[in-house]
Structure 1
Amino acid sequence: MDATYKQFVVPGGLTYTGKATSPKAYSGLNRVKIAWLRGADPSVIKAKVYWNNYADSVGVDIPPTGDTISVMITNLLEKNYTFVIRTYDGKGNSSIPVEVVGGSYGEKYQAQLLTRPVNSTFINAKGKLTINWGGADVSNGAFASEVKYTDVLGNVKYQIFPVEMKTSEILDLKPNTNYQFRTIFKPDSLSIDNFYTGYTDGGLFSFDKKDWSIIDFSTQHPGGDNAVTNFIDGTDATRWHTCAGCSSYPHFATIDMGAERTITQFGVWRTTFETGGDDRGPDKFQFFTSTDKVTWVNQGTFNFNRLINGEQRYLTPNNPRARYFKFVGIQGPQSYMVMGEISTYGL
């Protein structure tokens, strides 16, 4: 009556070694790290990890000490894998198989990564750089931005800022230099490798208007809503209104930026203080720069579209060094002038 199963009976029984405990697969760049806890079976001296349906494998010697066993599997294609772990004793007895699932990442993942943008960069009179970040690609694993720059001693430095930070500061940037930035990704919480986008240049700095002051101007209409200081308050929703009925072109405002800078561009807005925007700005203006408030350099005459909202940017032809600049409206539809905001950019 034992005939149906007698052929399957092993005399003395089968001996199984202690199996791999709590295995994990740690993803990486065309590689996966497999790790598990050392079991209580002292007879285990080696292990073998299989993948691709046992077509590929790697052996692992089990050291006499240590709490964790691990092996790195390299040169993997970019895909998910099922890994099978078996442990062995000195007599060749094996454990029951233990499976763990993991994957490797490569060019396909790298190609879809997006650099976190910089919305704006401000530099103040003391050289403090403030970077305002845009949204990060957290769905693909973005967790930090790296900023590369040269410090005041001439050393190349790197700073890491987590994506939770909307604003970052660099306090020791070498004057008249720029920075580069890139985004760092971790494809999953168990990844052993970080992935990086390429470096992007920091672009133009906007000079912080908190350091600015109006040191001279032509006229302003009575009332705080019309003050010339509204021309540099950081928003086009306020206005500088020159004196209506008691002024005529040219109208000007002279600004001290608080520190000498290289100006490569400047931007001008009409005001949106009035619903829909105010078209009483100039049609033409001039832009002057100075390092000492004595000698002024004419940077050119420019056309201004007073019929549209938003910033209008203008390149300075010679990228002048200046601490002071003067905006001069020279022609417009009324005798007075209404303006929104002005900014300067450069290094």
Structure 2
Amino acid sequence: MKKTYHFSLILFAAICLVSACRKMDATYKEYVVPSGLVYPGKAIAIAQSGRNRVQIVWPKGVDKTVVKAKVYWNSFADSVVVDVAAITGDTVKVMVDNLQEKNYTFVIRTFDAQGNISVPVEVNGGSYGERYQSQLLTRPVNSTLINAAGKLTINWGGADVANGAYASEIKYTDVSGAAKTQIFPVLLKTTEVKTTEITDMLANTNYQFRTIFRPDSLSVDKFYTSYSDGGLFSIDKGDWHVVAFSSQHPGGDNAAVNFIDGTEHTRWHTCAGCSNYPHWIVIDMGAPRILTQFGVWRTDFDSPGGDKRGPDKFEFLTSTDNVTWVSQGSFDFDHNLNGEQRYVLPNSPKARYFKFVGTQGSDSNMVLGEISAYGL
């Protein structure tokens, strides 16, 4: 009797469950697609930034039923239709032009010939314009060194890598007289490149440079700063040698060659007790250069505060052959001042040799630290 009762309860529960399921099926029947929903292959896309535009890119994929796609932006207010079936390559590229400078969210949906729609895909991309351009700074040139063989070494300042600086562009005239442009990366892996060498620039000419930016690594467009002139070159003293000099005090610490060794911490000391003004030295730069400026330092060798035995006045002369000399003027020198004292040569003479002549000073002998030349 007890078994019959239990069986009856189970049977009643099963009948109720079947009845409930039939009612539920009736409720949702109108929403069920008999053959199931079809979703074409979705676009696995990326957005590439650009100048007032963004490019959307994705592979065509293995779903050959996809015949078109639609890209939406501005919260579906704007869109563009893409004829995927007409694309012969394996990549779909959609350029969205005339965009304001801001970030965008793009929604991509693909369609098959029966009108079935893929699940939506969202990608984000930025459009850059005048606001971004106005923030870009040219990477500065700290100095430019040229040697007798014509090799130019550009020493760079810091680049605005955080804002997208990735290369420097150098424009110059090569040895054949042709205009030439070279691109040099700002970074080598993760290390900032500090120097650039150019070996084929036409002698006695200058160069121009600018910095190239990309807002991000996927950007389809580059941004450029304005060109800047290369400015003055430092003439490489590695090629210089002393041709002649008036005198030097005994000992290597006093040698005339110290006047061109690249530091004001050494000295050229003319013979003490056995020389008088004028004191002079002739330098061969190794190749003809157009000189526009030169600089002179007093020394701090053996005189930490600076040696005051420099001249009060000197003359600077130039020559192309070490025979015929042209005076470029008489100049004042402050023997109480440390650091480089720079002088302009208004005539910009072309010369291979120059002569420095100390003409007047407070002592009979003369002590100086260094001399440099600048030009093209």
CA distance in 1, matches of 2:206, 2:213: 24
CA distance in 2, matches of 1:222, 1:4: 116
Residue 315 of structure 1 and its aligned partner are, at CA, apart by 1.1
Residue 40 of structure 1 and its aligned partner are, at CA, apart by 2.8
Instruction: Return the match for 2:329 from 280, 293, 300.
Output: 300
Per residue, is there more helix in 1 or in 2?
A: 2
Q: Cα deviations across residues 73-106 of structure 1 (Å, max 9, x unaligned)?
A: 1111111110000001112221111101111111
Letter of the structure 2 residue corresponding to residue 6 of structure 1:
Y
Instruction: Return the match for 2:309 from 280, 287, 298.
Output: 280
Partner of 1:269: 297
CA distance in 1, matches of 2:204, 2:237: 18
What is the percentage of aligned positions where both structures have the same residue?
69
CA distance in 1, matches of 2:42, 2:239: 68
Letter of the structure 1 residue corresponding to residue 274 of structure 2:
C
Instruction: Return the match for 2:363 from 323, 334, 342.
Output: 334
Letter of the structure 2 residue corresponding to residue 79 of structure 1:
K
Letter of the structure 2 residue corresponding to residue 155 of structure 1:
A
Alignment of 1:119-130 (within 5 A): 119-130=142-153
Query: Quick check: 1:144 aligned with 2:175?
Result: no
Alignment of 1:1-347 (within 5 A): 1-2=23-24, 6=28, 9-12=31-34, 13-21=36-44, 23-63=45-85, 66-164=89-187, 165-273=193-301, 274-347=303-376
Residue 5 of structure 1 and its aligned partner are, at CA, apart by 5.9
| Structure 2, unaligned runs of 5 or more | 1-22, 188-192
Distance 1:53 1:7, change over 3 A: farther
**What TM-score results when the alignment is normalised by the length of structure 1?**
0.94
Worse-matched range after superposition: 284-293 or 7-16:
7-16
Greater Cα radius of gyration, structure 1 or 2: 2
Residue 65 of structure 1 and its aligned partner are, at CA, apart by 5.0
Q: Cα deviations across residues 167-221 of structure 1 (Å, max 9, x unaligned)?
A: 2222221122111111111111111111111111111122111111111111112
CA distance in 2, matches of 1:305, 1:60: 75
Distance 1:202 1:334, change over 3 A: same
Residue 52 of structure 1 and its aligned partner are, at CA, apart by 0.6
**What TM-score results when the alignment is normalised by the length of structure 2?**
0.87
Deviant stretches of 4+, over 6 Å? none
CA distance in 2, matches of 1:73, 1:183: 27
CA distance in 2, matches of 1:28, 1:310: 48
Residue 15 of structure 1 and its aligned partner are, at CA, apart by 2.8
CA distance in 2, matches of 1:61, 1:104: 24
CA distance in 2, matches of 1:58, 1:200: 41
Residue 128 of structure 1 and its aligned partner are, at CA, apart by 1.9
SS in 2 for 1:110: helix
CA distance in 2, matches of 1:11, 1:172: 74
CA distance in 1, matches of 2:119, 2:355: 82
CA distance in 2, matches of 1:24, 1:5: 42
